Structure 1
Amino acid sequence: MRSEELGETLLPKRLALPIFASDPLSSVAYATQEILLVLTVGGAAFLYLTPWVAAGVVALMAVVVMSYRQVVHAYPSGGGSYEVVSRNLGANSGLVVAASLLVDYVMTVAVSVASGVDNIISALPSLAGHRVWLALGFVLLLMAVNLRGVRESGKAFAAPTYLFIGGILLMVVTGLVRVALGDAPVASSASYGILPEDGKDTVAGLGLLMLGLRAFASGCTALTGVEAISNGVPAFRAPKARNAARTMAVMGTTAVVMFAGITALALIAKVHITEGGACRLTGFPGDCASTPQQTVIAQLAAAIFGGDHSVLFYAIQAVTALVLILAANTAFNGFPLLASILAEHRYLPRQMHTRGDRLAFSNGIIALAVVAGGLLWLYDANVTSLIHLYILGVFTSFTLSQIGMVRHWNRALATETDPAVRRSALRSRVINAFGAVVTALVLVIVLLTKFTQGAWLAVVAALVLWLMMRGIRRHYDGVAAELAVDDPEAESARPARVHGIVLVSKLHKPTLRALGYAEAFRPDSLEALTVAVEPEATGELERQWTEAGVRVPLKVLDSPYREITKPVLAYVREHRRGSPREAVAVFIPEYVVGRWWEHLLHNQSALWLKSRLLFTAGVMVISVPWQLTSSGRAGGPSRRAPGAVRRGEPAPGSGYERLPAPEKV
């Protein structure tokens, strides 16, 4: 796609919802399950806390959605939390948010894909042994689709997202209707007993509070990806801010309804599920360690639609697995966009800001896929293991962005005099202040309850990323300062003299071409340079040089240790020390080959020598290519161009007509 076609990639709301909101919408598929997994450590006795924990998650989601709607209207240029915090709290705080979000986007891909694979295995248990390869295959598929462009990925993922929403709402409505008619669904695990973990059945007081808070922190996975819309406002059609805010409202409402419905039905159907490994379900057929438990969604679908062999059961499992895998698409859009903004601000390599041939940020997409795939491989695509590294970054960005928005409204109110605008700003400030307090509390809860279970790895990763981005910015700032032009006349001054050196290994066509090109440059002085690695070969070269009548002097550098690079570098540097105002132009004959394996057979010494010469001040390195037949072109024309001189002949007026014979150094 041409650069001018960027406007054609802008998204209508119906495509923006599955692209930017698939993560928070799909999170409801495992958020309830994560709450139950925590509460069942004490057996079934603490499941009565589930409604209260779920209510807290719903209230928090409402607060966060309302808060981010303010961000969308105040900062419609994109960047979301990073831009809000950078502008209002400073660059270092902005980098904290950026590092946290980048880590969380990676975790979004890993957790979403692993959870999707879990739902596939719930329907087809025979695939349990292929968990990791399935996960890696889905990551590659997501990467490939996103490389096709934002709009194309939206079209590909819209249908599964809407089918998931429709399927879950159908399941919730059907289940609640059955409850109203006195035919409440019963989960297959309702008859299983739950053995408490050692010492956890008598938890009370502070321990009970911590258990509830830990369950709340796990349930907050339902909020992951909420900020993605605020990062991607520029991708919406005009009016961008209004369309983004409406999409966020639809996303929040839909997610709350689905999460509340799934949680209510899980309690009504008496779903029992525990963490894998040491099985704590009594009456469970088989061994928990080898036989996977069905997910909460799978148990509800089987209970509501008539068993785990019904058509609707497989349909719900299919769309759930598909949307969980596609939920990673939120990260595949958010990560490259944020990385592009950071690269534009010189905190990440410039390549992250480059669009591919389909106008997608291809480098960011590929980087995300590689890192997320590595995590899935390292953690065996296990959701329970990965979930502990999750959501810490989300609430770090939530908290700092809401604090930044409070400062934003304070600044606006300091200069605004219109009563209507002031009332709107005051209302927005209250929303953001309340959001800052709530998300800060949740951040503390998540940190306390998940830190020792693996969340510390996410903290370390974010810290390393923060330090790396600061280092990249220092590098770019240093380069910019070093390259800045202070005195154009002095910087563009010509060197006093130019001394040309042609590197020679043999007297063949590439060497003669390099000599001809060097003479065409008309340096003030010119010489050929060879290194005596093998005395016999060097003697033969000198004989051929004299017989051919090449008038450019040949210097021979002695090399008792058979080195090529060091003698040449020493000679060039010595020449520079003797004539510091003189520039040295080194001409290197090189073969151009057409087959990949031929690169291994040619030019390795020339490549290494060239790389070393580039670090020598005042030295210009010029490659003179000779195209071999395999490159698709002949080495050079057989007839001389008009006015050309014969190879080895000095150019008229070049000053090389009477140069001395070869000299040893």
Structure 2
Amino acid sequence: MVSSLKRLLIGRPLKSDQLGDQKLNKTKALAILSSDALSSVAYGPEQILIVLVTISAAAFWYSIPIAIGVLILLLALILSYRQIIFAYPHGGGAYIVSKENLGLYPGLIAGGSLLVDYILTVAVSVSAGTDAITSAFPSLHAYNVIIAILFVLLITTLNLRGVTESASFLAYPVYLFVLSIFILIGVGVFNILTGHVSPTLHTPLGTPVAGISLFLLLKAFSSGSSALTGVEAISNAIPNFKSPAPSNAAKTLVAMGSLLAVLFSGIVFLAYYYGIRPREEVTVVSDIAEQIFGRGFMYYVIQGTTALILILAANTGYSAFPLLAVNLAKDKFIPRMFTARGDRLGYSNGIGILGLLSILLIIAFKGRTEHLIPLYAIGVFIPFTLSQTGMMVRWFRQRPEGWVTKFIINTTGAVISFIVMMMFFLTKFVQVWPVLIFIPLILLLFHRIRKHYESVADQLRISSCEPSFPIEGNIIIVPVAGITHVVENSLKYAKSLNAYQIIAVHVPFEREDELAFEAKWKNWQPDIRLVSLYSPYRSILHPLTKFIDTVQHKASESNYQVSVIVPQFIPKKGWHNILHNQSSLLLRTHLLYRRNVIITTVPYHLKK
């Protein structure tokens, strides 16, 4: 039943040689990897206005030069990550760049920040999209958390089906959103050019505004830069592209940057010219759409596609998180299970863990994750700063042809990213201080995992100094609960091993039972020694393990190996297991941690 459900949800398994069929072309990659960046158009311009409105509406004209500053940063990031794609064609992005050029710990800081950021991407995006839906249908507001969880499960399932299937499904809403915003900008600009928008709605550029300061402008700039989250995802996901992967990834990155620049600047310009003020109950994009189209068909198309893109922005995390996890797992900083491909050739463990952690975050914050957005943004600008600085070091060390231009590009990106990061710390410390705790904790966790893997490798290595002792014979212990076919089957197996000695062990709770069982055993298996361990406290594990330890201690003095054969019957139907004590399972689990004791299970399958 479980297998059938899995096939229904995920699809049939794919052969390893079909991996090439799961690669993305540029059209699908643009949709699946750009959804996070493009969705920021829905809230990035608004973040600028929220800061400027603290002075007055007259200060809104500053949104234009601030937007130009954001576009300069975007250009620097696009050019830089394009260089990273060709320099590191196997993916890894900020983690690989920082590790190779700045050192191990800067690389781990970048990698850890991005892992957490992708979890936040899913939780924040899905919660924001759910809010947009429940705002349109207030009766659903009480079910915010449930709806958000269902969306996470849906996106997780789509990604478990494979990269190409999820891209095919998710591409339509992304491109529909892009088209609807282009129509919004086009009609809005047309109305301005034809004089249908009064120039009195906005303050002319250059108007002096009392109370404005450089600090406030930098705060608005850093808030608007939250629109650039997700730009790094393509450099992490290069292995998902069709060949030639680096070239296709670079073209997709440029296309994403171009789309983001047009959409972001268009929304900022329309918000300024139409005199839009940020309001708690209405988004800036909604206000612009209402001003241009009224509450007509196009208004609801824009609101619907905006809600969809906010939800689907989570898919960027599903594309980049597993591949980043693979690089960290290969370096032994996180569990190796993240390197395993699933039935559909995706890194299903990474996809599943991302979905689970996102759901836990949604539940913990009851679907209200708005105050995590600054933490989400700073989780991107830390890797931005480190990767740009790493590329600066790379060009300075290697000095290839044209390195000065590349160095200047990365220096510009590093300086601006650092300024944005510091502004987040200075202006929103109350919301971003957890980063100062979780990054050291992540580094500690990485260190402990790496130390464990190194310790295991050292102990398993044939050339290690671990002494090996000859085995002179085998002493087999068989726990027996009664005279049954299960026990008989296990004893036959024990005899076939030609052991030095076979000991059957029975643990009675009553003296009468002990004597009765010994009499029956003598008649049934007179050639096998029986040891009775009377247990007045009705414990099986304690007397049995104590006996095994005693035998093992004496056997080790003569180089004898102790083996425990555990009889177990297997019900025909799985659910029948809950009707039995599972004492054999408990015994095996308990004995696994006994050194120098071999545990073998002999199953006896019931027929009805």
Calculate the TM-score normalised by the size of structure 2.
0.92
Residue of structure 1 equivalent to 2:17: 4
Q: Quote the offset at 1:435 in angstroms.
A: 1.5
Quickly say closer, same or farther: Cα 1:622–1:444, change in 2 above 3 A: same
Quickly say closer, same or farther: Cα 1:346–1:203, change in 2 above 3 A: farther
Does 2:373 align with 1:387?
yes
Match of 2:421 among 420, 443, 446: 443
Conserved? CA contact 2:459–2:466, under 8 Å: no
More helix by proportion, 1 or 2?
A: 2
Match of 1:76 among 83, 89, 94: 89
Alignment of 1:481-560 (within 5 A): 481-486=458-463, 491=468, 494-560=470-536
Cα distance in 2 for partners of 1:555, 1:259 equals 81
Q: Quote the offset at 1:122 in angstroms.
A: 4.7
Q: Quote the offset at 1:506 in angstroms.
A: 0.8
Does 2:310 align with 1:304?
no
Cα distance in 2 for partners of 1:15, 1:60 equals 26
Cα distance in 2 for partners of 1:382, 1:186 equals 38
Does 2:396 align with 1:402?
no
Conserved? CA contact 1:99–1:463, under 8 Å: no
- Unpaired runs of 5+ residues, structure 2, are 1-13, 203-208
Q: Which moved more, 1:435-444 or 1:603-612?
A: 603-612
Cα distance in 2 for partners of 1:383, 1:523 equals 64
Quickly say closer, same or farther: Cα 1:368–1:583, change in 2 above 3 A: same
Q: Quote the offset at 1:185 in angstroms.
A: 7.9
SS in 1 for 2:433: helix
SS in 2 for 1:215: helix
Q: Quote the offset at 1:626 in angstroms.
A: 1.2
Question: Deviation string for 1:353-387 (max 9, x for gaps)?
Answer: 11110111111111111222222233333353231
Question: Deviation string for 1:4-23 (max 9, x for gaps)?
Answer: 11111111111110111111
Cα distance in 1 for partners of 2:147, 2:452 equals 40
Cα distance in 1 for partners of 2:155, 2:491 equals 53
Cα distance in 2 for partners of 1:396, 1:600 equals 50
Q: Quote the offset at 1:149 in angstroms.
A: 0.5
Q: Quote the offset at 1:450 in angstroms.
A: 1.9
Question: Deviation string for 1:53-106 (max 9, x for gaps)?
Answer: 222212111111111111011000111111111112222221111110011111
Question: Deviation string for 1:405-457 (max 9, x for gaps)?
Answer: 122222322xxxxxxxx3323321221122222211211112222221x2122
Q: Which moved more, 1:10-19 or 1:87-96?
A: 87-96
Cα distance in 1 for partners of 2:271, 2:525 equals 94
Q: Which moved more, 1:546-555 or 1:458-467?
A: 458-467
Quickly say closer, same or farther: Cα 1:627–1:488, change in 2 above 3 A: farther
Quickly say closer, same or farther: Cα 1:160–1:549, change in 2 above 3 A: closer
The one-letter code of the counterpart of 1:346 is: K
Question: Deviation string for 1:298-320 (max 9, x for gaps)?
Answer: 11112112x12x11111111211
Match of 1:254 among 255, 259, 264: 259
Conserved? CA contact 1:103–1:461, under 8 Å: no
Conserved? CA contact 2:129–2:308, under 8 Å: yes
Q: Quote the offset at 1:244 in angstroms.
A: 0.9
Residue of structure 2 equivalent to 1:86: 99
The one-letter code of the counterpart of 2:195 is: G
Conserved? CA contact 1:501–1:528, under 8 Å: yes
Conserved? CA contact 1:217–1:445, under 8 Å: yes
CA RMSD of the aligned region, Å?
2.3
Q: Quote the offset at 1:132 in angstroms.
A: 2.6
Cα distance in 2 for partners of 1:203, 1:129 equals 44
Alignment of 1:319-330 (within 5 A): 319-330=305-316
Question: Deviation string for 1:530-555 (max 9, x for gaps)?
Answer: 12322222222112112224310101
Conserved? CA contact 2:511–2:534, under 8 Å: no
User: Max radius of gyration: which structure?
Assistant: 1
Does 2:579 align with 1:579?
no
Question: Deviation string for 1:138-196 (max 9, x for gaps)?
Answer: 11111111111111111111111111111111110110110011112899xx89xxxxx
Residue of structure 2 equivalent to 1:619: 597
Cα distance in 1 for partners of 2:429, 2:515 equals 72
Q: Which moved more, 1:139-148 or 1:589-598?
A: 589-598
Cα distance in 1 for partners of 2:150, 2:48 equals 29
- Unpaired runs of 5+ residues, structure 1, are 192-201, 277-292, 414-421, 631-665
SS in 2 for 1:528: strand
Cα distance in 1 for partners of 2:112, 2:551 equals 49
Residue of structure 1 equivalent to 2:10: none
Alignment of 1:275-286 (within 5 A): 276=280
Alignment of 1:566-645 (within 5 A): 566-580=542-556, 581-630=559-608
SS in 1 for 2:375: coil
Residue of structure 2 equivalent to 1:145: 158
Cα distance in 1 for partners of 2:247, 2:564 equals 61
SS in 2 for 1:390: helix
Cα distance in 1 for partners of 2:349, 2:328 equals 13
Residue of structure 2 equivalent to 1:212: 217
Q: Quote the offset at 1:395 in angstroms.
A: 0.8
Question: Deviation string for 1:321-368 (max 9, x for gaps)?
Answer: 111211111001111111122122211112211111011111111111
Quickly say closer, same or farther: Cα 1:489–1:164, change in 2 above 3 A: closer
Conserved? CA contact 1:84–1:401, under 8 Å: yes
Match of 1:228 among 230, 233, 249: 233
Cα distance in 2 for partners of 1:39, 1:407 equals 37
Match of 1:367 among 347, 350, 353: 353
SS in 2 for 1:591: strand
The one-letter code of the counterpart of 2:587 is: L
Question: Deviation string for 1:445-471 (max 9, x for gaps)?
Answer: 12222221x212244333322221221
Residue of structure 2 equivalent to 1:168: 181
Cα distance in 2 for partners of 1:433, 1:426 equals 10
Q: Quote the offset at 1:606 in angstroms.
A: 1.9
